Chains A and B, each alone.
Chain A
Amino acid sequence: MTLAWGEAAVSVVWAFLIGGTICLIGQVLIDVFRIPPAHVMVLLVVAGAVLAGLGLYEPFIRVAGAGATVPLSNFGYVLTRGVLDALRREGWFGLLTGVFEIAGGALAAAVVFGFIAALVFRPRG
């Protein structure tokens, strides 16, 4: 039990450091390289997809845990993972059907939360 909690504590620290570093890189892109925030978001998702294609994102998750799964790059990873699994399972048609296989959950949740918020909350400004 003590060991498990110790491991959890270490994984939280790793998530903090690696997740923080990804965000720091994002801020550098915005402030130093003058890339608009919306473009940085797109870059990050594309980067996640590319790393996933290279087979590098899974090892990254094993090291960083939430430091890899919470940033937006993970969205690119789960989209790619879904397509790849479907391609292997169903062949060419999987290229289309696989996209939302894993990522669909987060999108569905976002739509539902957006709907609830639109009904319940009003912008405060």
Chain B
Amino acid sequence: MVTGNAIAIRQASKRLGHQTMRFETAPAVVASASVVGLREGQGPLGRYFETILEDERYGERCWEQAESRILKEAVNTALGLAGWKEDELDALISGDLLNQISASNFASRNTQMPFLGIFSACATIAEGLLLAATLLEAGVAARVIAAASSHHEAAERQFRYPNEFGAQRPMTAQWTATAAGAIALGLPADGGGGAGWGAAADGSTGEAQLLPRITFATVGKVVEMGQKDPYDMGTAEVPAAWDTLLAHFRETGRDPAYYDLILTGDLARIGSEIFREGMRRRGLDVSSRHMDCGVLLYRPEQDVHAGGSGAGCAASVLASYILKEMRKGRFRRVLFVGTGSLHNPVSIQQGEPIPTIAHAVAIEA
């Protein structure tokens, strides 16, 4: 059944098992930037973000254009930090939650950036990173930005109720983050730290800065376990996270202890607990090294219930706290597992269960 071509790919050992890719050139994270809303800025990661909005509408006439603008600002900031010009970028890979990923489409309009739009809900940035790394590995691109955004009010009115409607949210509900994150990937030789990545972010130019690189990615399968509650996406995404992680460890031969940090995004508080218990039952204890972007982004007292969600949540946490701390050496080996619920309001109303996906990306410095 295996064709000659497939055998050649396996023998080149870029392909491990059924789902995992190995990046021999190990594309480097040259820069990253994030723009977040006020509530996110007041969270524990506040000092890691480049821009914090004071007004969720950001001077635009509607939420949707505001999201587009914060995404554009995150991309432009990442470009600046990488020291690249718009027309030097080989591809912008971006996605969001709005219908037909319109925030990304509008953010890219009339720019000089070749654009690839993608959708994996909260896992969008994981898909973006692995596609960017693939382009670089293939040698068909040298400078790529992966980005994702979400906007609380824009998502509320699309997926739930008008913003001024007085609905009570269940305890399992997650708060769609107003946030955008952009991560610039290039060849390790390309700047190797950029024109001032560390400098602009925290003024620490003097320190030795490590270069985070993407070494492996495991592409997820769409998993559906009969979960139907759109107010409990974290739980629905857990089986997808298990599935992808098990495949990753099986196909790379690594075990959880190899990584300093296994970062999911976004299972939130309840989903995280179920996730850890399920991993433990499968003989892979990750509890001591697991964190979740939806849990990291907010303080428990910020009334976000189970935690954050939205394509911008994981993107902004990764682009800020995680990658900046990797540069400083606090985390050396991070396995980022983006998890997304792939439903839409129509499928929910029609009583269909929530299909979910998880993509894993290994980032090592």
Contacts and interface: CB of A to CB of B under 8 A. Distances in A.
A125 B163 contact: yes
B164 A123 contact: yes
Interface in A27-42: 30, 37
A106 B153 CA distance: 29
Given A37-B167, A37-B168, A123 B162 contact: yes
Interface string A102-125: 000000000000000000000111
B359 interface: no
A14 to B, nearest CB: 25
Interface string B150-189: 0011001000001110011000000000000000000000
B277 to A, nearest CB: 24
Nearest to A117: B164
B168 A124 contact: no
A125 B157 CA distance: 10
Contacts of A124: 163-164
* Residue among A37, A123, A124, A125 with the highest chain B CB neighbour number at 10 A: A125
Contacts of B56: 125
A29 B156 CA distance: 24
A123 B163 contact: yes
Contact-size category for A: under 10
Contacts of B167: 37
B329 to A, nearest CB: 39
Contacts of A37: 167-168
A125 B60 CA distance: 14
A123 B64 CA distance: 13
A125 B168 contact: no
Contacts of B152: 125
Contacts of B259: none
A125 B67 CA distance: 14
Nearest to B157: A123
A114 to B, nearest CB: 11
B159 to A, nearest CB: 14
A125 B151 CA distance: 11
Nearest to B162: A123
Contacts of A123: 153, 162-164
B39 to A, nearest CB: 10
Nearest to A121: B164
Interface in B125-163: 152-153, 156, 162-163
A23 to B, nearest CB: 12
A54 B217 CA distance: 67
Nearest to B153: A125
B63 interface: yes
Nearest to A30: B168
Interface string A4-40: 0000000000000000000000000010000001000
Interface string B195-207: 0000000000000
Contacts of A125: 56-57, 63, 152-153, 156, 163
5 contacts: A30-B168, A37-B167, A123-B163, A124-B163, A125-B156
Given A125-B63, A125-B153, 14 more contacts: A30-B168, A37-B167, A37-B168, A123-B153, A123-B162, A123-B163, A123-B164, A124-B163, A124-B164, A125-B56, A125-B57, A125-B152, A125-B156, A125-B163
Interface of B: 56-57, 63, 152-153, 156, 162-164, 167-168
Sorted nearest first, the 10 A-B pairs with minimum C-beta distance are A125-B153, A123-B163, A125-B163, A123-B164, A125-B56, A37-B167, A125-B152, A123-B162, A123-B153, A124-B164
